[in-house]
Chains A and B, each alone.
Chain A
Amino acid sequence: MKNSTSATKRGFSLVAVVVAALALVGCAPATPEPVTPTASDVWIKAIPELMDGMAMTGVFMTLENPSEEDISLVGATNTTEGLTETPMEIHEVIMGDDGEMKMQMVEGGIVIPAGGSVELKPGGYHVMYWDLLKPIPVGSNVTLTLEFSNGTTLDVDAVARDISTYAG
């Protein structure tokens, strides 16, 4: 039961977080309550061993915005103890002028369109971990807090998965 990676269990904890966030902002009834986007299928590329210059990885998920206004994912903070001390970044992968794919920070964050969703996946948008201080084994879980342009935050739990079939 412990360390469950099931979508259902994560779903429940996300609901709890969203409810908590709504409860907090509910203290200011005069202004419209900002909507917190939801996150599903949250996972992180596993790093079974730390190797020189390779102590980084990406977090992937599907973000949904149930509100009537665009909301952007503008930042993230690691909440896993001892995993890194370097700030996290919101990245995209684009083709450079030289034809090479390269990773860069997203100006203004990743837009989640009103009433729509956006997918963070390998080779595209991702939340970047730098300077890992310990490995992230396959099947382990990493926690982080997502920060949105409307001031809301969302705690998420990412399960570590391997993306290559026979990487040893």
Chain B
Amino acid sequence: MTQTPAESSETTGVVSRRGFLASAGVVSSYVAAGAAGFAGGALTLNAASASTPEREAELRAQQQSATIPFYGEYQAGIMTPLQAYGTYAAFTLKPGTGIDQARAMMQLLTDDAARLAKGKPTLPDGEPFLATEPARLTSTFGFGPGFFSKLGLQGGLPDGFAELPSFSIDKLQPEYSGGDLVIHVGADNPLTVAHAARQLSRTAHTFAEPLWSQSGFNRPQYGVPSDQTGRNLFGQVDGTVNPRSENEFDAQVWASGGPSWFRDGTCLVVRRIQMDFAGWDKLDDTKKESAMGRRLSNGAPLTGSTEFDAPDLSAKFENGLSVIPSFSHVRRSRMGTDAEKFLRRPLNYEDGLLASGEPNAGLIFAAYMADIQKQFVPVQQRLADLDLMNTWTTPIGSAVFALPPGCQPGGYIGEGLLG
């Protein structure tokens, strides 16, 4: 099943387009409509046509039965338009887990995930009826640095894949950091996410101990789709500069360097960002917008009028001050080159109260890129050095994972490394 590099390079153009379309969710009209920029507005459902009870029932059935193919050139759940709910669960390999056990674990996880993606229960599923509404369910797997070192597979480490350096802004807590294995589940139905995460966690648990689990949510992408990117809990539009075309994914997300088993894989950075709502609430809109460099109303840069206008970092007021201030998030994150772009699939979290009585809430920042060192670290370093948003946000968890390419029926995720 594993393609040799020669085979891959000959067929990349064709396979990659097919993988892209499958992964982008061309399975039902609402998915295509939700993927503004992916599928070019194949909008068949709108507020007017969804207004009858029959239409709403039809829409709901479509939402709940929609499936994303598990098998393909790339793992699902990366290029897939962001689902409304998601969970990232990390594990550490048990001491007795060697390569044979790791292979068995990935074969079983692959089998589970392929069944769940079709709305079918796993083999040992005790609650099979919870599997029947896939709602664009995707299950995505990745390996942390410890997976390679514990299994003696250091030779298979992807280029640029290593733990992040420590940043001055970090206040990392062990309960949200690290891990040898990550399982990421996403779907438009929270019950579906919970069930899939539990099924997959059970399978993993034979071979690995649970380390942490983080769940979050987003605006659903079904129903009345919007061209505007989703918002975080500070109300900011988040994810404007994400890759959207196949070429952008090839350039930013899918690994093309070494080692060969990792071709069409990608790297994942998961950081838990706690938000200080008490501090944020004291700001007026002008201060909030200058901290970000974007307008709250629609995410447009302060030098533009629509979300996708390019920020003009050189624009100045008459008094000589920059319209997009030196400390703003947009300027700090954009100072690099095109080589420093990557995909973000963030989830918001809201998890009860802190001891202070403030909301225990924030952002599960999840970023995907071919090379962590080249694409992510320089951006994060600039933000750590100077970004006014650091005043109200604190990274409290951090982990990195290498996500293998997808697999075909009969194969399993990670076969290039473990086979």
Contact = CB atoms under 8 A, between A and B. Distances in A.
A, B: real partners? yes
Interface of A: 1, 3-9, 41, 43, 45-46, 48, 122, 137-140, 159, 161-167
Contacts, number: 71
B378 interface: no
Contacts of A43: 123-124
Contact of A1 (B108, B126, B207, B419): B419
Main secondary structure of the interface of A (DSSP, over half): loop
Contacts of A8: 409-410
Given A5-B111, A161-B123, A161-B124, A138 B201 contact: no
Contact of A139 (B107, B202, B419): B107
Interface string B383-419: 0000000000000000000000000011110010001
A161 B200 CA distance: 12
B105 A139 contact: yes
A167 B123 CA distance: 17
A161 B108 contact: yes
B103 to A, nearest CB: 8
A162 B124 contact: yes
Interface string B171-203: 000000000000000000000000000100111
Contacts of B412: 4, 6
A4 B123 contact: no
30 contacts: A1-B1, A1-B410, A1-B411, A1-B415, A4-B410, A4-B411, A4-B412, A5-B107, A5-B108, A6-B107, A6-B410, A6-B412, A7-B114, A9-B410, A43-B123, A43-B124, A45-B124, A46-B206, A122-B126, A137-B104, A138-B108, A139-B108, A139-B206, A140-B104, A159-B108, A161-B123, A162-B205, A163-B126, A166-B202, A167-B205
A3 B419 contact: no
Given A1-B419, A8-B410, A138-B206, A163 B104 contact: no
B101 A139 contact: yes
A163 B127 CA distance: 11
| In the A-B complex, the 10 residue pairs with the closest CB atoms | A139-B104, A161-B124, A138-B206, A43-B123, A165-B202, A8-B409, A163-B124, A5-B107, A5-B111, A6-B410
A165 B205 contact: yes
Nearest to A42: B123
B111 A6 contact: yes
B209 to A, nearest CB: 10
B183 to A, nearest CB: 14
A165 B124 contact: no
A15 B409 CA distance: 17
Contacts of B201: 165
B92 to A, nearest CB: 15
A6 B104 CA distance: 12
A35 B170 CA distance: 67
A166 B202 CA distance: 7
Nearest to B419: A1
B340 to A, nearest CB: 38
Given A159-B123, A163-B124, A165-B198, A4 B107 contact: yes
Nearest to B104: A139
Given A6-B110, A139-B101, 19 more contacts: A1-B1, A1-B410, A1-B411, A1-B415, A3-B103, A3-B107, A6-B410, A8-B409, A43-B124, A137-B104, A138-B104, A138-B206, A139-B104, A159-B111, A161-B124, A162-B124, A162-B202, A164-B202, A165-B201
Interface in B101-123: 101, 103-105, 107-108, 110-111, 114-115, 123
A3 B410 contact: no
A58 to B, nearest CB: 11
A51 to B, nearest CB: 17
Contacts of B411: 1, 4, 6
